[in-house]
Structure 1
Amino acid sequence: MDNDNTVKVGVSNKEGQLGFMFTRGGIREGSGRKSIGVTKKISLTLPEELWAEIEKHGTEHQQSRSEVIRNILDSYYSR
């Protein structure tokens, strides 16, 4: 049984992105999680109580913090 767990770093065809490759296979275009939009990192300051509500909602609906905030923004702007 081949148990070689060597990991290599390879450059994807996308602009300067790195990918991890194991001993077999490699980086494949179109593989992985599909994009739902453009990612922009932001810093958001909210009162502790509001963060607690977001966390509670996420736990109850099995959503990440990002999903909860994205859904709030989407419902506001989709009116």
Structure 2
Amino acid sequence: MIELNENGFKVGVSNKDGQLGFLYSRGGLREGAGRKSIGATKKISLTLPDDIWEKLEKQGIEHRMSRSEVLRQILESYYSS
């Protein structure tokens, strides 16, 4: 059941594992909604010298990319050649 409360939110149970979903007055809980996956996510800890971290941060700011996006681009470039 989906109900609209006084704040304009919908609350309902999705089709997946009985999870609750909160939405604004538009849209709906549906399979396949949201950002599409680009691959498997694995958390790692990476130790680099401070100057390398600074270069990664600078590149991210210059290209409006997250640190993960910068590292992904570097790794994909290296392994695609």
Higher mean C-alpha deviation, range 27-36 or range 3-12 = 3-12
Q: TM-score, normalised by structure 2?
A: 0.73
Report the Cα offset of residue 72 of structure 1.
0.4
Q: Which residue of 1 aligns with 2:29?
A: 27
Q: Which residue of 1 aligns with 2:64?
A: 62
- Structure 1 residue runs of 5 or longer lacking an equivalent are none
Q: What is the CA–CA distance in structure 2 between the aligned matches of 1:74 and 1:38, rounded to whole Å?
A: 14
Could you tell me which amino acid in structure 2 is paired with residue 20 of structure 1?
A: G
Q: TM-score, normalised by structure 1?
A: 0.75
Q: What is the CA–CA distance in structure 1 between the aligned matches of 2:63 and 2:18, rounded to whole Å?
A: 33
TM-aligned CA distance change 1:62 to 1:23, over 3 Å: closer
Q: Please report the RMSD computed on the Cα atoms of aligned residues, expressed in angstroms.
A: 2.7
Q: Which residue of 1 aligns with 2:50?
A: 48
Describe the SS at the equivalent of 1:33.
coil
How many residues align? The count is 76
